[in-house]
Amino acid sequence: MTFFKFEDDFVQSLRCIPMQVRFKLDTCGVKLKLAHWNEFSLDERETLVTLPCETDGDIQAYKTHLQALVTQYTGGPAKELTIDPQAPWLNSTQIPDPVQEKATACNIELTIDQWASLTALQRFALIKLSRPSHENHNFLPAIAEFGLT
């Protein structure tokens, strides 16, 4: 399990959806709302953290398990999303504009070499944390945690 330090304030209780689960949601194409997440028991949340979601079989099993949980608690499945086969966090050779813009606004010079040195999960986190619609207070702590300052 990979929890980031910038998630420390909620990972013990799993009251918020951690980045590694958000990464899996984008991988399997499910739009899970925080309200759905909060319906699940702690054991069910921990299972969603630990279940693999890498191979085609894993991804389908994860999606099936997740949708069964959502349906159990809400009476219907969560909305499904199109899976981007060329997701920007999988591209280690190009820093997405929103990440570069957020870094520049924070007086951080982010290089391609630094971007390439990150894991896909770390790149995913920076992409999510640089979105205008996201609470961005964790962008700088993530940058520091990933050794980019």
Reported as a single tens digit per residue, the pLDDT across 82-108 is 999 999 999 999 999 999 999 999 999
Identify the burial level of 132 via C-beta atoms within 10 angstroms of its C-beta, where 0-12 means exposed, 13-18 middle and 19 or more buried.
exposed
Can you tell me the distance from the alpha carbon of 120 to that of 97, in angstroms, rounded to the nearest whole number? 17
Are 145 and 5 contacting, i.e. CB atoms less than 8 angstroms apart? yes
Q: Does residue 135 surpass a pLDDT of 70?
A: no
The model's pTM is: 0.93
Per the prediction, the chain carries an average pLDDT of 94
